[in-house]
Amino acid sequence: MILNHAIGVRFPVAVPHMDISELKQSILPKTFYLQNTFICLKDSLGKILVHEEGKNTTAGRIVEVEAYIGGEDKGSHTYLNKKTPRTTIQFEEGGYAYIYTVHTHHLFTFVTQPKDIPSVVLIRAVEPIYGIEIMKERRGMEDIKSLTNGPGKLCKAMNITKELYGQDLTSPDFKLYIVDDGFQVNDKDIVKTARVGIDYAEEYKDVPWRYYIKDNPFISRK
């Protein structure tokens, strides 16, 4: 099923007949996640993040992402390929969930590339497209534009917690995954900027590894 809406054109959001079981036919496969991180970064824009929880199922279109590259990247938890209990999953092959906490919030990333190349894509914002009422309830607000326009916000709205750390996003048995509904994001509609909140990263502070969909109302900041 192709959602009959266009990003940035529709608002308020409404997808009354979206069928999750149909979307599940189009889960991104392992081969997607094994690709170079910057391919994953670019191609994850416009895909749909789904957390299946029965009547509390939520989904959102990915509109803002960042790359964190192990080894060289001083902004990464795996700078110098540092392996700790927290970062262990980054060293597995692509397709697993790397979820961590910062202050009181959870942040969701997915692991990319083959085993022992610890790199991830952080989902910084999604556009709510399913389960909007439960998102409002979890976030304690009515303002649709603020439900998921930040990495901590979207995890709260979609009930993504550390219990999902290490989950295989490519298994149909699991309840957290990303699907491709055929929505295309044109290259000219991708804005590339410095990443957010990594002032400590020295020469990696300003690398343009944050991608977002131009003019989308749900990005975390300009």
Partner DNA sequence: TGGATGATGGCCT
Partner DNA sequence: GGCCATCATCCAA
Binding site for DNA (CB under 7 A): 66, 68, 75-78, 82, 84-87, 98, 100-105, 107, 109, 120, 122, 139, 146, 150-154, 162, 195-198, 200, 220
Please name which of 21, 47, 53 lies closest in space to residue 32, comparing C-alpha atoms: 47
* 49, 59 contact by CB (below 8 A): yes
Q: How far is the CB of 121 from DNA (least distance, A)?
A: 8
Q: Least distance from C-beta 123 to DNA, angstroms?
A: 9
Angstrom distances, CA of residue 149 to CA of 124, 143, 145? 7, 11, 7
Whose Cβ is closer to DNA: residue 78's or residue 181's? 78
DSSP 89-149: GGGSPSSBEEEEEETTEEEEEEEESSTT--EEEEEEEEEEEE-HHHHHHHHT---GGGSSS
Q: Bridge-partner residues for 190, per DSSP? A: 213
**Cβ partners under 8 Å of residue 116, min gap 6:** 91
Three-class secondary structure of residue 36 per DSSP? coil
